[in-house]
Every structure is written in C-alpha cells, then in structure tokens.
Amino acid sequence: MTDPRVAGVGLTHFGKHPDRTGRAMFAEAGLAALDDAGIDPDDVEALFYGNFMGELAEHQGHQAPLMAEAVGLDVPATRYESACASSGAAIRDAVFRLRNGEADVALVGGAERMTNVGTAAATDALSIAADDLYEVRAGMTFPGAYALMARAYFEEYGGSKAELAEIAVKNHDNALPNEYAQMQQEITVEDALDAPIIADPLGLYDSCPITDGATAAVLVSEDYADDHDLDAGVAITGSGQGGDKMALHDRRYLARTPATEDAADEAYDDAGIGPDAVDFLEVHDCFTIAEVLALEGLDLYEPGEAIGAAARGETTRDGDLPVNLSGGLKAKGHPVGATGVAQLISLTKLLEGRHPRADAVESADTALAHNAGGTVASATVHVLQEVGR
Amino acid sequence: MSDEPRDDGFDDLLDAIADGEGFYVECDEGHGSLPPRLACPQCGSQELSEEPLPDSGEITTYTVVTVPTPQFDEDSPYVTAIVDFGPVSITGQVQGVDPEDVETGQVVGIDVGETVTRDERVIVFEPR
Ligand SMILES: [Zn+2]
C-alpha cells in the first residue's frame, strides 16, 4: 500500500457569483486541476464529487455525471453528501480507491452555488444539515446551532467574544494576499465585536460568508507519479472519519466534538504520526467557535485551551502552529461542498511553496486538513506530507 | 390542522406534550431518546418503551436568533434552547420571558405553541 500523491489542483474564485452555474464553476476548477497535473485526461478513472445543496439551489440532483461531463471526462462519477464535509468524504474514498490499487488516477472536487437563492433561502438550505424534526422546526439555524455550542463552551471552560474575534481577525489577515478568497479585507477586534449579532453570542464576523465556488484536485498513485515523472511531492499519508449523533441535544458533549476526535485518532494512526508532528493546518472554521472546537478535537490543545490560541499568537501566521493560512472558511469563503478539497488545495500549495502565505511554513513538511459536516455530526481529517519526488 | 401527512413519532410526541402527557423513549439500558425509534441511538437495543417525560427541565444552552430562516421570519428575535429533562434533552423555543432574562440553569416546563410566521407547531419551554 502506498500513499496517493496530489498531482494537480484547481479552483475558481470564491465569492458572490450568483449567475455562474455549478457546472461552469466545476468545469473551470476541474480543467485547471488537470492542467496543473499535466496528465493525459484520458487517464482519469473516476470522479469523486462533493455537493450539499444542489437540489435547493439549482434544482439539480444527480450532479456527479453532469460534472464529469463538464470537465470532458467519460468516467464513473459519484456525488458525496455529508453537509459541509461532502468533499472531505469524497477525498477519503478516492484515497482508498488509489491505495487499493483499483485506480491510478482520480479527480476529486466539489462545487456549490449558493448566492443565487438569496440570504434567506441559503440560510434555510444550510439549516437542513441539522435534524429537521427536532432542531430546524424549533427555529435552529446553522449559526444558531454553533451559538448553542459557543455558549455551552463558555459555560464549561470560560472564554470571551473578544477571543473569538481574534480568530476572525487572524483568518481575515491570512486571506489578504489570497486572490481566490471571498474577503481580502482587514478587520479589527473592534469591528468584529461591533458587528450585528446573528445568533447570540455569535455576530456577523464570527460567521463564514455565503459563497459560490468550485474546487478540484487530481490524485494519483505513487506508481503513476513515478512512471510519468510527475512533479507531485505531496502525499496524503493519513485519512480518518468520525461521526456523532445528528441533533445537538442527543450528544454527550456540547462543547467538544467527538467526531473530530475519532477522525483525528484514525488519521494520525494511519499516517504513523502524533499531533506533535503537525506543522500547520486548515480547520473547518465555519464559525469562529468551530476553529476552537476543531483544535481541541484534533488533540492539538486540551479542552478549554484553544479559545485563546489566536489571541496569544500561537495560531497566527508567525506563531508555532499557523491555522487557516488560506483565510479559512471565515475569509476565504465556504462553498459548502467544495470546502474539503479547498483545504487540500491550500495545504498542497503551502507545502509546495507556491501559496501567497508559503513563507510562514518554509521548513514545514506535515499538515492537517479538518473538514466538518453540520454541527460536526460528520468529520474527516487528512494528513498531508511533503515526501519529495 | 391541515390534511398534510403526519410525521409519525414526532407529531405523536407533540400531541402528547400538548395534552400534558409528554413522553420519551427508553431502552432497557436506561438510555432516553425521542421518537420515532426502533433502536436505541446510544446502544442499539431494540427493547424500547415509552416513559413519562419529567414535567420540568433545566436550560443547558440557548441562543437568541436574530437572522432566522424564512419560516420564522416574523418570529425573530426568538430564543432557541436545549433543555435537559434528565433521561433526554429536547430543543425548543423559550417563551413567556424576555430574551434578555433567559439563563442557563433556568427551570422550565414544556408545551406546544404555534409559530407567528406560519402557524406551525413548535415545542415551547416556559419558566416555572
Ligand atoms: Zn440504549
């Protein structure tokens, strides 16, 4: 068993593109990834595609064959839906297929069209990642769910809205040179604290924006990379997935995320590393509190300790453990089904030294991608390592 | 009520709560859950029974939602909370109190109300 390599990556600009169809966005991302990989497109054997709300946004189910066709590929294609972790789940299955030796070249990716339906309908669409009968019908929104978790965290461990604001400030700062990011805009702690409340205690700047965008990556077996002399020095060396009860009220913890803990344990074990080996990472910061929960779930901080990590400068660009150098979901944007692969793309570019924030991690060789679905009823973790050619 | 199909289990529970006879599903290991269930979500046991819901619980966490989904447009701002009844916890809306005065640990009872926007049934908590 060998570790799949990332041979090429591609994405669209993340932002408000209400007139762009999902198929057009995915075509752009997919073709860019194939071009970046420099492989013969005929060698692609399958598409693993993530999408969450295509039925609601575009009245389009069964998207995977449509997306394969959009990239000009005649291959079996499957859509993965795990809410915001849709393309994380897609990566995981592609990794297994390549490791098993059942394929040598896979295209993974995702797309989401969201802003065309407007804010109210997008808020409604996002809410369906929760339990419809017992949460959504009680008025729970996606920000509302994370607000429930944020208050539970504050009650259990302490922490302040100002500390959450520091996370938003950090991620906005990271996105400044990222031409693909939705928000290349500096903010201050005061801006965040003064912003309108969406679901108390979370305000506008605690929340990721609503985003259109698509992502794609070409994953290849080590043998294929060697045989074709590909410039593919980043390997996916670990994969893990965890689950939890759907509704928050059925969970054992409101201020911890066991799905992330389980996914991380499995991924670390799979890669043969411990958390201390992680040099930098992209975590699923759909809300500022989510970054805190992720860092603790990934065993990089003890429960209750990550809330102050950004404020203390530990997870900033010049800190010991840079988090979300891409800008994270918060500033880069969160086209839901495309986000897992967006993290893979950012980490690959950072490890390869071709990301605008690569200077922050020049000597690093081990990175982590953490993708979470809903209120972390689903989570995937992947370990990426620079292994050289 | 319209002639729309019911949601078995969920609508049965709301009917029962409205009649002051709320219940939860308990497995033979003592795990509580909400209907409909054929297997315990905690342990998988299929030995399930309906037990009376304690008539009050404590607010574990809550949020004041100011940006709602369209079906709660005219309800906002409203308080969504998780209430711990002991064997089970339930999500609903806290009513009969100013949102500013809601606190964790507050003791509340359970009832069924209607949303302002669409007259849809909603689980409601009111301070005791
Ligand atoms: Zn049980």
Q: Which residues contact A34 (CB under 8 A, 6 or more apart)?
A: A8, A10, A41, A44, A71, A107, A218
Q: What is the pLDDT of residue B3?
A: 75
**Residue of A128, A136, A151 best to disrupt the B interface, most CBs of B under 10 A:** A151
Tens of pLDDT, residue by residue over A262-317, are: 999 999 999 999 999 999 999 999 999 999 999 999 999 999 999 999 999 999 99
Q: How confident is the model at residue A273, as a pLDDT? A: 98
- The DSSP line for chain B is --SSPP-TTHHHHHHHHHTT--EEEEETT--EE-SS-SS-TTT----EEEEEPPS-EEEEEEEEESS--GGGTTT-SEEEEEEE-SS-EEEEEE-SS-GGG--TT-EEEEEEEE-TTT--EEEEEEE-
- Among the partner-chain residues A141, A148, A247, the one whose CB lies closest to the CB of B69 is A141
> Which of the residues A17, A172, A284, A334 is marked catalytic?
A334
From chain A, the residues in CB contact with B14 under 8 A are: none
Rounded Cα distance, B23 and A249, in Å: 16
Token duo for residue A231: 């410039």
Q: Are A26 and A111 in contact (CB under 8 A)?
A: yes
pLDDT, residue A1, reads 63
> What pLDDT sits at residue A367?
98
Mind telling me how many Å the CA of A127 is from chain B's nearest CA? 8
Helix (H, G, I), strand (E, B) or coil at A66: helix
Q: Is the pLDDT of residue B2 over 70?
A: no
A62 is catalytic: no
What whole-number distance in Å separates Cα of residue A5 and Cα of residue A10?
A: 15
Residue-wise pLDDT for B81-99, tens only, equals: 999 999 999 999 999 999 9
Q: Which strand (E) or helix (H) includes residue A235?
A: strand A234-243
B58-73 burial: b if 16+ Cβ within 10 Å, else e? ebbbbbbbbbbbebbe
- pLDDT attached to residue A2: 87
Minimum-distance CB partner of B63 among A120, A127, A144: A144
Mean pLDDT calculated for residue range A243-259: 97
Give pLDDT, residue B4.
85
- Mean pLDDT over each residue of chain A, to the nearest integer: 97
Question: Which range is least confidently modeled, A58-67, A106-115, A119-128?
Answer: A119-128
Q: What is the pLDDT of residue A328?
A: 98
A389 falls in which pLDDT band (50, 70, 90)? low
Q: What is the pLDDT of residues A141-184, one digit of tens each?
A: 999 999 999 999 999 999 999 999 999 999 999 999 999 999 99
- Closest Cα to residue A244, out of A51, A83, A54, A56? A83
| Beta bridge partner(s), residue A386 | A234
Beta carbons of B61 and A254 less than 8 Å apart: yes
- Residue A58 is predicted with a pLDDT of 97
Is ipTM beyond 0.90? yes
Residue A336 near residue A112, CB atoms below 8 Å: yes
pLDDT greater than 90 at residue A340: yes
Q: In chain A, what percentage of residues exceed pLDDT 70?
A: 99
Q: How far apart are CA A313 and CA A239, in angstroms?
A: 29
Mean per-residue pLDDT, B41-70: 96
Q: Which residues of A touch B75 (CB under 8 A)?
A: 139
Q: What is the dihedral of CA A34, A37, A42, A43, to 10 degrees?
A: -140
Q: How confident is residue A358, by pLDDT bands cut at 50, 70 and 90?
A: very high
Least confident of A125-134, B1-10, B11-20: B1-10
Which residues, listed in sequence order, are joined to residue B107 by a DSSP beta bridge?
Answer: B58
**What is the predicted pLDDT for the residue at B61?**
98
Does position A82 have pLDDT exceeding 60, yes or no? Answer: yes
For residue A208, indicate whether it is catalytic: no
Mutate to test the interface with A, among B75, B91, B116, B123 (most CBs of A within 10 A): B91
Size of interface A-B (CB pairs under 8 A): 100
User: What does residue A39 show for φ and ψ, rounded to 5 degrees?
Assistant: -105, 170
Give the integer Cα–Cα distance in Å for B77 and A197. Answer: 11
